[in-house]
Amino acid sequence: MWPEMTRQAVWRAFALGILLCYPIMAVKWLPFGGGARYLNVLAAPVCLILLWQAPREQIRELLVSALRWGLPFLPFVLAWVIAQFWHAYDPLDLNPLMRLVWCSLLFVGARLVGVSYRHLAIAAGLGATVYCGVALIEVYGLGRERAWGGTYENRFGQYSIWAAVLCFLHVLFVHPKEQSPAMNALLIAAGFLGIVATLLSGSRGALLALCVLIAIALFKSMDWRRGLLAGGAILLAVAAFAFLYAPMASRIELSYQEVLLYFNEAEFAATSIGVRLELFRIAYLTLLDHPVIGPGYTSLKQLYDSHPAFGVPHPYVLEIPGFHNDWAQAVGIGGGLLLTALVVTCAALGVAAGSIFQLAFLGFAFVFSFSEIFFSNKMGLSLLMACWALYAAAEQNRKSGT
C-alpha cells in the first residue's frame, strides 16, 4: 500500500489534471470532448470530492469566495431564467444557471488543488498544440475544407485562438521569475500553432481575438516598445499566413465584398455576413414590438410567421438555428430585459477583472458575441466561465501563497 502522503499527492495531481483539461471541449475526437461535458461529468464531481475533503473551517470561506466570484454573471443568468419561466419554454432551459453552478465548483476546486499561473500556461500551451494537430489532420489528412474538431468550425477557431492568445499573454505579463526562458519559447511556439489552427478553421470572427491581444500588449505592457514589437510580430505573422493560405485569404476578401453587397443590392443577398446583418435588422424590429420581455422566440420561422411586417424571409435564413450573435439572440429570448442584463454582466465583468487574463477573456467574449452566439451558447459560456474561474483561483492562490 502507498503511504498516505503519496496517495494524497497522486490524487491532487489527478484532480489538477482534470480541472485543467478544459480545451477538450472543442475537440469531439477526445474523450469527453465535443461539448461542455468537461464541466458536469469531469470537473464538477472532482471539485465536490475536493470540497468534501477540505477542512470544515475552510469550507465556509471557500463557498463565500465562490459566491463573490459568480456575482458578475448573475444579471445575465437571472434574466435568462426569468425569460425562460415567463415564456414557459418546454423543456425549461437553465443552461446559463447550470454553467454558473459548475464553474463556481470549479473555482473552489482550483483553490483547493493550488492552481497556479504556471499550471494554466502549460494547459494553454498543450491546448493550442492539440488544436493545431487536430486541424492539420482534418485539413491535410482527411481533406476537409475547414478544421472543425468534430464540433463546429467557428467554435473550434474561437477555442484555438483563445488558447493561442493565452500563451502570448503568459509570456508578456507573467513575471519572468515564474517562467523560464525555455518555457516562454515553448509558449510562443504553441501560440503560433494555435493561430495556425484558427486559420485552418477558416473562422474570420475568431481572428478578432488578436485585436484584443494587440490592444492589451500596447496599453498594458510595462514597456510599450516591447508591446508594440509583440503586437507587430503577431500581426505580421498572421497576415503573411492568411494571404499565403489561399482559402483564408479568399474568406477575408469575401468579408468586404459581402458587406458592400448587403447595403448596395436591392434584394437581400444570403451571404455569411449578409445574413448576420439581416438578423440584426430583425432583432431591432423585434425589440420595437417586444421591448420588455421579448416575443418568446423559439425559431426564426416562428418569428417571421408571427410578424408579417418583417417581410418574406430568405429560405437560407430559416435554416439558421439562432440569431447568430448574442445581442440579437438576447432580444429574441428576453427582449430588453435580457439585453440589458447582458450589458450589465459585461460591465460587471470589466469591473471585477482582477488580472490581465480576465480582461482579455472579456474582450474575447465581446468580439466573438457579434459574429457568433457566445454568451448564449453552452460551449461559449462554458469556456468563458471556466477560464474566469481558473484564473481567478490562480490569482487568489498567488496572493495567499498557496
Nearest alpha carbon to residue 171 among 142, 194, 139, 154:
194
Contact 77, 334 (CB under 8 A): no
Q: Note the pTM of the prediction, 2 decimals.
A: 0.88
Would residue 88 be called left, alpha or beta, if left means φ above 0 and alpha means ψ between -120 and 50 degrees? left
Give Dmax over CA atoms of the chain in angstroms: 78
Lowest-confidence segment of 60-74, 200-214, 252-266, 335-349 by average pLDDT:
252-266
**What span, in angstroms and rounded, lies between the C-alpha atoms of 339 and 277?**
18
Contact 315, 300 (CB under 8 A): no
For 261, how many CA atoms within 13 A lie in the half-sphere containing its CB?
16
State the sign of the Cα–Cα–Cα–Cα dihedral 186, 187, 188, 193: positive
pLDDT band at 223 (very low <50, low <70, confident <90, very high): low
**What span, in angstroms and rounded, lies between the C-alpha atoms of 325 and 371?**
6
User: First-to-last CA distance in the chain?
Assistant: 29
Which one has a higher pLDDT value, 367 or 211? 367
pLDDT of residue 224: 56
pLDDT > 70: percent of the chain: 83
Which one has a higher pLDDT value, 161 or 256? 161
Query: What would the pLDDT profile of 131-160 be if each residue is shown by its tens digit?
Result: 999 999 999 999 999 999 999 999 999 999
For the chain, the structural domain boundaries read 24-249+339-400, 250-338
pLDDT over 90 at 395, yes or no = yes
Lowest-confidence segment of 55-59, 89-93, 383-387, 391-395 by average pLDDT:
89-93
pLDDT band at 249 (very low <50, low <70, confident <90, very high): low
Which one has a higher pLDDT value, 177 or 279? 279
**What span, in angstroms and rounded, lies between the C-alpha atoms of 165 and 188?**
9
* Amino acid residing at 218: L
SS3 annotation, 35-95: CCHHHHHHHHHHHHHHHHHCCHHHHHHHHHHHHHHHHHHHHHHHHHHHHHHHCCCCCCCCH
